[in-house]
Amino acid sequence: MTLSRGFSLRAAILLIAGVAVVLAIWRWNDAGPRYRRTGDAAAFYVLLRDRIRNGDSMGSVMRNLGPGRHETDAKFHDDFVALTRRNPIENPQGGQDTDDFYSWKAAGWNHVLQFRNGRLINHDPTAYRVVPSGGVLSN
């Protein structure tokens, strides 16, 4: 028994369409797009725990989290630099006057990341294991 050429073409089109749908659903549920789309705190924490590392470029971080808010207020900047200098265990790279700070909102909090020369510093992924609502991330 042989299959007609038309049937094979329809089967191939259906297979390709099915794969495209599966990929679209997977991408829709991915943590990056989910956080950027909904502000979902669990997705935000997954990104900060699993995808973002010290040394990542500002562009890479923003591709994952979205643009963020550049904190340009002088008092905020000075206070945050002082905080990083007072806590050398949590902030091993310290703080410099030329550092840039960007913030993102999740779970009702502003989360601030510190950049020096366009690279992320003083980021501890293990700090993002527990979502502020009390949920522990499983993966």
Report residue 112's pLDDT band, with 50, 70 and 90 as the boundaries. Answer: very high
What are the C-alpha distances in Å from 122 to residues 37, 50, 83, 92? 27, 16, 12, 6
Region 33-37: what's the mean pLDDT? 87
In this predicted structure, the answer to whether residue 96 has a pLDDT above a threshold of 80 is yes
Region 39-48: what's the mean pLDDT? 89
Structure-block tokens of residue 138: 């499983």
Return the bridge partners of 54, or none. none
| Each residue's pLDDT tens digit, 10-33 | 766 766 755 554 444 544 457 888
Q: Which residues of 34-55 are buried (b: 16+ CB within 10 A; e: fewer)?
A: bbbeeebbbbbbbbbbebbeee
Region 95-122: what's the mean pLDDT? 92
69-70: strand order across its sheet: 69-70, 100-106, 109-116, 119-121
What does the alpha-carbon distance between residue 137 and residue 129 come to, in Å, rounded to a whole number?
6
Residue ranges of the domains in the chain?
5-128
In this predicted structure, the answer to whether residue 121 has a pLDDT above a threshold of 60 is yes
Neighbour-count burial of 88, counting CB atoms closer than 10 A to its CB (0-12 exposed, 13-18 middle, 19+ buried): exposed
